Chain A
Amino acid sequence: MKRLMKRALDFLGDSGQVTKKDLKDFYRDRARIISFIIMPLFMMLLTGFIFPSQGSLKDVPVGILNLDKASPGQVSLSDQVISTLSSIQAEDSTKKVMIVKPVQNEATIKELIQRQDLSGAIIIPENFSNGLTKEHKQQTITIITDQSNPQISSILSTMLDKVFDSMGKKMSTIAIGSLIQPKLSDASMSALISPMAVESKGLVPGKPNYFQFVAPGVIAMVTMMAVMMGLAGSIAREKEQGTLDGILVAPVSRFSIIMGKTGAQTVRGLMQGAIVLILAMTFFHVKIYGNFLIMLAVIILGIFSFVGLGILVSAAVEEQETAMTIMMTVTFPMLFLSGAFFPIQQMPGFMQAISKCVPLTYEVQALRQVVVLGAGLGEVLKPLLILLGFGVVTLAISIPAFKRVVTR
């Protein structure tokens, strides 16, 4: 018992020394410190600003081909449509959503979209005003989208759908109002025109925000990259420089060396995660709805889940450069498969199946549950157990492998 205690204490002491030494070494490396801070900062800004959300669309150039000819003296409904479209205010900005550009014919639309001068176009049919007011015929407005930019296209067409729908309802209200006597109240009129109204309500207060969705992903990604790259890099560097021999000829267990190194990289990863979190909360209005400690537990278990993989690569590789290349090859697919940036539900079936084998998926999922939905420990237990399982299995494979390989 006493011997076991001593061994455990030695193990912790040895790991602690390696962690301390690695952190000191890291802290004194200016270049690494700079990239350490810049990397999460960049990831944050990139994901925060580049990915489009409906609210963030502004100054989108949209062509209008107005074929409508109102009869003299008649109100041109197409002109009203155009002025409504060009006055839609962008969210959180003084800018407009669209810059409406008049276009002469369909051929020009094609050409301008091909030249990327337009992000889409709207065609108002010839008999628009007359058809609606006099002939009482339904008119079809055509929206032409730019398929080279599916995200903008889909946001644009959703928005235009909504705009035309609400304009159409207004028209119906006026038209039906003039037919019914006595006049109905506004509420009854709304019930008549659109009997069912839809209201979306989030589980937690506040508007859905792409960043709220992506921030947990970025945190998971940054910690994963820090630990995987850091671990493989640091072991390979020590192999290359020869300093690992110094530790290996000391009477310490191989496991404590690897744990010490993992400790140092975990501290780094958590610090980078904290940078992302602080930025997200300060500049991107991300809010943590769940418990901070549960979030931390998810992140730490996340690190635990892929550390084995990191060790395996470090064991196999002699040079730093090779370690980095392999780590890139491993982490990038994991990143995209995990749903950190794009919902897994959008992926085809086989990809979804693969993504289920990636531990990061469960970390991102659990983090999102805690951060965005305020889930408690009970709700994230399943992903946490899966992460634990991944960690145990990969470590069980990688630690003996590491022991074997360092003393070939």
Chain B
Amino acid sequence: MSENGNGTIVEVNELVKKFGKLVAVNGVSFEVDSGEIFGFLGPNGAGKTTTIRMLCTLLRPTEGSARVAGYDIVNQPSGVRRSIGLVAEKLILYERLTALENLWFFGRMNHMATSDIRERSESWLKRLGMYEWRDKLAGTFSTGMKQRVNIARALLTEPSVMFLDEPTLGLDPQTTRAIRQFIKELAEAGVTVVLTTHEMAEAEALCDRISIIDQGNIVALDTDTNLKKLLSDDEGAVVDVEVEGMSDASEAACSGLECVSAVAEPEAGRLRVTASGKGAIGQIVDSIEQAGGVVKRMNTLEPNLEDVFLHLTGTEIRDEVSNNIPTGRPMHGRSAGKRVR
């Protein structure tokens, strides 16, 4: 494992990636410590995958620089490649090769000794519960089984940094849980993990630090607890409001307030409002009542990561980029359709 003396294993400086006119990553900088689980949280199209692909030497940055395991991603790509494992968004697995043949091929591509390939394939497949399927064609596996073999493939070279791009996307709950547990174990064993996700729960459950990324920019970077503090101190709050005679007008009035960054309607007659600034609560009550609703009860809630995300980006995490995530969002921006599922 090669890393800098200060324990920083990934060092990113003002990284920019443009595809023609589209700015996919707009000058991100961060550091990842050795042995840490570092998460990118953001909607599709936020620039998570592009950032990871640059760090894996699959894309050339337009501007900026980065070092992974001490190697420069542009000038020393071979060093980077020898130090990393990649679980990309698409499975890196040949359907017409068996699980073992897949591992064998990628082991050979990484110039591993045959004895190492044999030993490690066996051990990783056993740990990931795929050993008994080793001689079956990958094409016959379920998505979850494929992802297990895919992870074994990425780990074959015993990389010091593992990049995982949406590792549990589209998997069943059992496999998701197993893979999350496995990622934790990896980090405990000293492997640095950089992962992307658009699922709050995943980021909350796994990551030591979370970097919230939106529109190609990192809008916040901290531990889960510290991120939530953004909303639980004097500056911000999440309140649950029970409204009698609630209408669209009361919701609209509420979200129209300067101090409100997000409004959700978790169930009929209830609003979950993320707000910041002094006197925010009073303003919320006033606006609802002016719109014809009566506030029956009001609680301050423990903010979750989703509230933080909405507060920072003013948008909801969506599955589709085509849902037109509002553009040019400032830190405390507001948007019309701030509805959380």
Residue numbers of A with Cβ under 8 A of B are: 10, 13-14, 17-18, 21, 24-25, 28-29, 241-243, 245-252, 407-408
**Contact yes or no, B101 A249, CB < 8 A:** no
**Contact yes or no, A13 B57, CB < 8 A:** no
A21 to B92, CA, bound (A): 14
Q: Within 8 Å CB of B92, what residues of A?
A: 242-243, 245-246
**Contact yes or no, A242 B88, CB < 8 A:** yes
A249 to B79, CA, bound (A): 11
A29 to B95, CA, bound (A): 10
Q: Within 8 Å CB of A17, what residues of B?
A: 105, 108-109
B93 within 8 A of A: yes
Q: 1/0 per position for B162-176, CB-CB distance to A under 8 A?
A: 000000000000000
Closest CB-CB distance, A18 to chain B, in whole Å? 8
- A17-B108, A242-B91 known; A249 and B58 CB under 8 Å? yes
Docked complex: B109-132 residues within 8 A CB-CB of A: 109-111
Q: Within 8 Å CB of A29, what residues of B?
A: 96
**Contact yes or no, B81 A24, CB < 8 A:** no
Q: Within 8 Å CB of A10, what residues of B?
A: 111
Closest CB-CB distance, A158 to chain B, in whole Å? 54
**Contact yes or no, A243 B96, CB < 8 A:** no
Q: Within 8 Å CB of A249, what residues of B?
A: 56-58, 81, 84, 86
Q: Within 8 Å CB of B300, what residues of A?
A: none
Closest CB-CB distance, B149 to chain A, in whole Å? 12
Q: Within 8 Å CB of B86, what residues of A?
A: 245-246, 249
* Given contact pairs A246-B109, A249-B57, A252-B109, a sample of 13 additional A-B residue pairs in the complex whose CB atoms are under 8 Å apart: A14-B108, A21-B97, A21-B105, A25-B94, A243-B92, A245-B88, A247-B109, A249-B58, A251-B78, A251-B81, A407-B57, A407-B58, A408-B59
- In the A-B complex, list the 5 residue pairs whose CB atoms are closest, starting with the nearest: A242-B90, A246-B92, A250-B109, A28-B96, A251-B81
Docked complex: B69-83 residues within 8 A CB-CB of A: 77-78, 81-82
A13 to B77, CA, bound (A): 20
- A21-B97, A243-B94 known; A251 and B111 CB under 8 Å? yes
Cβ-neighbour of A246 out of B60, B78, B106, B108 (below 8 A): B106
Chain A contact surface mostly: helix
Q: Within 8 Å CB of B81, what residues of A?
A: 249-251
A14 to B59, CA, bound (A): 22
A117 to B58, CA, bound (A): 65
Closest to B78 in A: A251
Docked complex: B20-70 residues within 8 A CB-CB of A: 56-60
Closest CB-CB distance, A335 to chain B, in whole Å? 30
Q: Within 8 Å CB of A14, what residues of B?
A: 108-109
**Contact yes or no, A21 B94, CB < 8 A:** yes
Closest to B91 in A: A242
A25 to B101, CA, bound (A): 11
A246 to B91, CA, bound (A): 9
A242 to B89, CA, bound (A): 8
A407 to B77, CA, bound (A): 11
A28 to B140, CA, bound (A): 13
B252 within 8 A of A: no
B272 within 8 A of A: no
- A10-B111, A250-B109 known; A243 and B57 CB under 8 Å? no
Closest CB-CB distance, B114 to chain A, in whole Å? 12
Q: Within 8 Å CB of B93, what residues of A?
A: 243, 246
Q: Within 8 Å CB of B106, what residues of A?
A: 246, 250
Closest CB-CB distance, A24 to chain B, in whole Å? 7
Interface centre among A10, A21, A246, A252 (most CB of B within 10 A): A246
Closest CB-CB distance, B5 to chain A, in whole Å? 25
**Contact yes or no, B110 A251, CB < 8 A:** yes
A sample of 29 inter-chain contacts (CB < 8 A) reads: A14-B108, A17-B108, A17-B109, A18-B109, A21-B97, A21-B105, A24-B97, A24-B101, A25-B94, A25-B97, A28-B96, A242-B88, A242-B89, A243-B93, A245-B90, A245-B92, A246-B86, A246-B109, A247-B109, A248-B57, A248-B58, A249-B57, A250-B109, A251-B78, A251-B110, A252-B111, A407-B58, A408-B59, A408-B60
A407 to B55, CA, bound (A): 12
A10 to B110, CA, bound (A): 10
Q: Within 8 Å CB of A245, what residues of B?
A: 56, 58, 86, 88, 90, 92
